[in-house]
Amino acid sequence: MNLYQHKVQYYETDQMGIVHHSNYIRWMEEARMDFLSSIGWDYQKLEASGVISPVTAVECKYKCTTKFSEVINIRVYILEFKGVKLKLGYEMTRDDTTVCEGQSEHCFLNREGRILNIKKVYPALYEALSQRVVN
């Protein structure tokens, strides 16, 4: 599991001073990029290897509001990975309070847009992801 921290910026809040709901999905993206870097496969390395990984689904469950300057801890973990599809989980907390839970699903494509089986094409990436699946 990986932990990413995000400090809420003023521009992420609405007129009521509460973080706009769309930002939580952006934070999931930030945390995912940080997670990939932490396992040695940052997005630049993936793209240089000819791999792109688009989002195929995303889900967010809002539990508690957040506000400007709060620090949100985002725990990232792999729920499912078998070589073609990657499903990540996210738990966002402030202190000991869960503020949001989410999931994102991704596939792996080559530059031509064809689906890749990472296990066959990039075994080192497959191993790095497989070792981190939460059971």
Query: In this structure, what CATH number is given to the domain that contains residue 69?
Result: 3.10.129.10
Q: Is residue 96 part of a domain?
A: yes
Query: Given this model, what pLDDT does residue 53 score?
Result: 94
Query: Domain range holding 53?
Result: 2-130
Structural domain contains residue 68: yes
* Count of domains forming the chain: 1
Instruction: Give mean pLDDT in consecutive 10-residue pieces for the chain, a chain of 135 residues.
Output: 92 95 97 96 92 96 97 97 96 97 97 94 95 91
pLDDT value, residue 25: 97
135 located within any domain: no
Question: pTM score, two decimals?
Answer: 0.93
Assigned domain for 44 exists: yes
Residue holding tokens 């290897």? 49
Q: Which of 62, 71, 78 is nearest to 4 (CA)?
A: 71
